[in-house]
């Protein structure tokens, strides 16, 4: 156990484990009272009348928070701070160019948000309309999100690393009539052709997208289509600096964010206004122990939920100073993060285990040659952190003086669910430790029974609702109910397997479905498989995870070729197919290893034995289990031989 550090506990909002336990007990004994109090963190135009409502009927489920309440998320993240801290820096933009920063005060943020809101309005965007945002980590991304929130439009941000086809699918599914993009992105010194990708995606959705608003991030010229494409800076210059904030119902949608599931089609997770913002603000303050003078840096990309909740909505709702980091952890070298910390005096730093591993393997000196003396709290998210990597983060990056918060949560939970509190919770490296107040994790066995007590394992579920919970899947509530509430009725199913140890600490042990966690990002094996079989070279494909030193889980694909491609050069086919996945989904989905195989291990009824493929991918050849029941056991021998030979 790593004890809590006195210096951190002394000034923390929650400063002892006893205080945490008392707060937790209170939150589950009187959830309505507890959450009503948390909602008071926000400014409401009209106070809520009820805290929580749940509806259940044959085969469906529904819940809502803070009914009757009216508020605006942008107003809460921006306007209300202008009077008290108008000159305080809201956002520090850390540009891709080393050492270049831009500070944006709350006062200026309000003006920029209003201008973009007026631009959107001028192009016909109204309350409830969907705006797709395909931008890199530049301030205009924050302005646009908050501008949508201001006028009641629903934003759908697509990570700028996704392909044209992924972008097209998301634009189409959300029915977005406006796309906001940039001429180019800049990341790690490389340019990303966002406008060209956007053109491809938009051309493929017919006339759905009426307007493409383009931010000029670089000097590169791009073709602009007359009547459709406009420059943001030209449009904004024409607009007023003020724009009224729509009074939104607590349950009005705030945003859609797509995430992978176990089928090929990504799900548009929907978050609403009052509950989500309450939960983002509450968890941000508690888990990161945020105080007025903190400089807070979450180096995730806003294209993922971490960026939504913990770069923008949580920190800004709390009036904090938040960093937007445009670059990568290794550009120009492995000191980049710590140079950022020293340049800005960062006190709270939040990243993913995959980034920590990528830096750790390059040697301590990249870290130790920087000061990092401003740091107080170090966070991680996205996947289990190896205990050794946790220790390195603690000892080397944190100089043994910082609290580590290993935060477990999901796109669907809206915010952190299980995490230590920096001033209160003794840590065990590798465990996300204990649930936050108001959150009731349970372990459920495969028959649906709650597993009581400690030193037990099960499917991690959450009992009851919490304000940040996703309300539906855009356009498909039945799928929402089916994926999360059907296998174990009465609980929210997370999809993670988990152990609760003898002290009641939670340890995430992996996924229970066909979802891979690659560098902290969720990817469905079915998505990668369908990208592969969409190519004429592939007759059949199976994708599994494999251990990967940096990514945590890598992608291993097995493909059976079509006759015309069987005789072609193997290396060439492999290249073509890796490129295929990159083009269909995006670089994050590129298989780390792809094998062309003569067949797949199948049962006599035709079911692919993924268990065997996973073992081979992990090079655990002696542990394949019983293969005699396979339709053709010889296939396995051939795959094993080829795998050993590195083919
Ligand atoms: C899945 C959710 C939440 C933002 C980033 C990912 C895994 C997340 C942890 C952690 C172990 C973790 C889980 C979860 N995960 N955080 N601290 N320890 N596993 O969001 O893409 O929705 O993925 O990430 O498997 O279900 P996401």
- Which two tokens mark 109? 């943020």
| Residues 211-248 pLDDT 10s | 999 999 999 999 999 999 999 999 999 999 999 999 99
| Residues 61-104 pLDDT 10s | 999 999 999 999 999 999 999 999 999 999 999 999 999 999 99
User: In this structure, what are the phi and psi dihedrals at residue 357, rounded to the nearest 5 degrees?
Assistant: -65, -40
Q: Give the pLDDT mean for 456-467.
A: 97
Final residue of a structural domain among 253, 280, 300: 253
Q: Which atom of ligand 1 is nearest to the CA of 260?
A: 21
Residue 120 forms part of a structural domain:
yes
Q: Which atom of ligand 1 is nearest to the CA of 520?
A: 6
Please name the residue that has the structure tokens 């908050």.
146
**Could you tell me if the CB of 594 is within 6 A of ligand 1?**
no
SS3 444: strand
- Residue 494 Cα, ligand 1 centroid: separation in angstroms? 10
| pLDDT above 80: residue 262 | no
Residue 126 forms part of a structural domain:
yes
- Residue 387 Cα, ligand 1 centroid: separation in angstroms? 17
Q: Which atom of ligand 1 is nearest to the CA of 508?
A: 11
Cα 181 from chain centre: 20
Quick one: what percent of the chain has pLDDT higher than 90? 95
- Which two tokens mark 387? 């205990």
Confidence of residue 387 (pLDDT cuts 50, 70, 90): very high
Q: What is the dihedral of CA 531, 532, 534, 537, to 10 degrees?
A: 160
Q: Closest Cα to atom 13, ligand 1: which residue? A: 383
- The residue to mutate among 270, 381, 492, having the most atoms of ligand 1 within 8 angstroms of its beta carbon, is 381
Q: Closest Cα to atom 5, ligand 1: which residue? A: 382
- Which two tokens mark 444? 């459920």
- Residue 408 Cα, ligand 1 centroid: separation in angstroms? 6
**Pairing label, strands 348-351, 267-272:** unpaired
Residue 32 forms part of a structural domain:
no
Residue 416 forms part of a structural domain:
no
**Could you tell me if the CB of 166 is within 6 A of ligand 1?**
no
Q: Which atom of ligand 1 is nearest to the CA of 385?
A: 18
The answer to whether 65 and 35 are in contact (CB under 8 A) is yes
Final residue of a structural domain among 229, 253, 277: 253
Residue 171 forms part of a structural domain:
yes
SS (H, E, C) 96-121: CCCCCEEEEEHHHHHHHHHHHHHHHH
Please give the pLDDT value at position 627: 87
Please give the pLDDT value at position 605: 85
The answer to whether 180 and 213 are in contact (CB under 8 A) is yes
Q: End-to-end alpha-carbon separation of the chain, Å?
A: 44
Please give the pLDDT value at position 263: 77
What CATH code is carried by the domain that includes residue 636? 3.30.300.30
Number of domains in the chain: 2
pTM of the model: 0.96
- Is the C-alpha dihedral spanning 191, 195, 199, 201 positive or negative? positive
**Could you tell me if the CB of 301 is within 6 A of ligand 1?**
no
Final residue of a structural domain among 203, 219, 253: 253
| Gap between the Cα atoms of 12 and 424, Å rounded | 8
**Could you tell me if the CB of 601 is within 6 A of ligand 1?**
no
Please give the pLDDT value at position 614: 95
- Residue 351 Cα, ligand 1 centroid: separation in angstroms? 12
| Gap between the Cα atoms of 77 and 322, Å rounded | 12
| Residues 552-581 pLDDT 10s | 999 999 999 999 999 999 999 999 999 999
Residue 245 sits in which domain range? Answer: 106-253
| Gap between the Cα atoms of 302 and 313, Å rounded | 11
What CATH code is carried by the domain that includes residue 241? 3.40.50.980
| Gap between the Cα atoms of 99 and 92, Å rounded | 12
Residue 442 forms part of a structural domain:
no
| Residues 15-46 pLDDT 10s | 999 999 999 999 999 999 999 999 999 999 99
Residue 221 forms part of a structural domain:
yes
Residue 574 forms part of a structural domain:
yes
| Residues 275-318 pLDDT 10s | 999 999 999 999 999 999 999 999 999 999 999 999 999 999 99
């Amino acid at each position: 156990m790593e004890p809590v550090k006195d210096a951190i506990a002394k000034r923390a909002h929650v400063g002892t484990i006893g205080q945490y336990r008392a707060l937790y007990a209170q939150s589950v004994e009187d959830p309505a009272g507890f959450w009503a109090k948390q909602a008071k963190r926000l400014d409401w135009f009209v106070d809520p009348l009820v805290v929580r409502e749940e509806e259940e009927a044959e085969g469906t489920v529904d819940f809502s928070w803070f009914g009757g309440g009216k508020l605006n998320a942008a107003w809460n993240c921006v306007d209300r701070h202008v009077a008290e801290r108008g000159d305080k820096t809201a956002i520090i933009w850390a540009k891709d160019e080393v050492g270049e920063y831009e500070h944006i005060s709350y006062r200026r943020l309000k003006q920029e948000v209003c201008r973009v809101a007026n631009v959107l309005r001028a192009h016909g965007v109204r309350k409830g309309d969907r705006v797709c945002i395909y931008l890199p980590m530049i301030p205009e991304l924050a302005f646009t999100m908050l501008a949508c929130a201001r006028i009641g439009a629903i934003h759908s941000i697509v990570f700028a690393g996704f392909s044209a086809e992924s972008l097209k699918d998301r634009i189409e599914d959300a029915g977005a009539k406006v796309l906001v993009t940039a001429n180019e992105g800049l990341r790690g010194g490389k340019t990303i052709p966002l406008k060209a990708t956007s053109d491809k995606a938009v051309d493929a959705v017919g006339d759905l997208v009426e307007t493409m608003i383009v931010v000029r991030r670089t000097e590169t010229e791009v073709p602009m289509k007359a009547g459709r494409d406009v420059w943001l800076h030209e449009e904004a210059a024409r607009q007023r600096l003020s724009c009224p904030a729509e009074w939104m119902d607590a349950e009005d949608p705030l945003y859609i964010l797509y995430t992978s599931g176990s089928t090929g089609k990504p799900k548009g997770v929907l978050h609403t206004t009052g509950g989500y913002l309450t939960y983002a603000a509450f968890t941000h303050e508690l888990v990161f122990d945020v105080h007025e003078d903190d400089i807070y840096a979450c180096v995730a990309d806003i294209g993922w939920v971490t960026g939504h909740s913990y770069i923008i909505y949580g920190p800004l709702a709390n009036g904090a100073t938040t960093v937007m980091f445009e670059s990568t952890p290794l550009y120009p070298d492995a000191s980049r993060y710590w140079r950022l910390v020293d340049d800005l005096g960062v006190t709270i730093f939040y990243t993913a285990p995959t980034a920590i591993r990528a830096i750790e393997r390059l040697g301590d000196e990249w870290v130790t040659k920087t000061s990092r003396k401003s740091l107080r709290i170090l966070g991680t998210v996205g996947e289990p952190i190896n205990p050794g990597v946790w220790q390195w983060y603690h000892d080397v990056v944190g100089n043994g003086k910082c609290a580590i918060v290993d935060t477990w949560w999901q796109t669907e939970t809206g915010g952190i669910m299980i995490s230590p509190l920096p001033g209160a919770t003794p840590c065990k490296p590798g465990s996300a430790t204990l649930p936050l107040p108001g959150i009731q994790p349970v372990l459920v066995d495969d028959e649906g029974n709650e597993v009581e007590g400690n030193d037990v394992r099960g499917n991690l579920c959450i009992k009851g609702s919490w304000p940040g919970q996703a309300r539906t899947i855009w356009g498909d509530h039945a799928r929402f109910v089916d994926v999360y509430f059907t296998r174990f009725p009465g609980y929210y199913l997370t999809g993670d397997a988990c152990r609760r140890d003898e002290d009641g600490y939670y340890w995430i042990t992996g996924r229970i479905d066909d979802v891979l966690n690659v560098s902290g990002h969720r990817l469905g094996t079915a998505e990668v498989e369908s990208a592969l079989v969409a190519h004429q070279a592939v007759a059949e494909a199976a994708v599994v995870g494999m251990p990967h030193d940096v990514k945590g889980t890598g992608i291993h694909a097995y493909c059976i070729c079509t006759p015309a491609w069987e005789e072609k050069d193997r290396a060439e086919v492999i290249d073509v197919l890796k490129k295929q996945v990159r083009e269909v989904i995006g670089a994050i989905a590129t298989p780390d290893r792809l094998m062309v195989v003569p067949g797949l291990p199948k049962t006599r009824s035709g079911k692919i034995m993924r268990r065997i493929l996973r073992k081979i991918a992990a090079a655990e050849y002696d542990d394949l289990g019983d293969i005699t029941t396979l339709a053709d056991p010889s296939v396995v021998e051939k795959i094993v031989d080829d795998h050993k030979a590195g083919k």
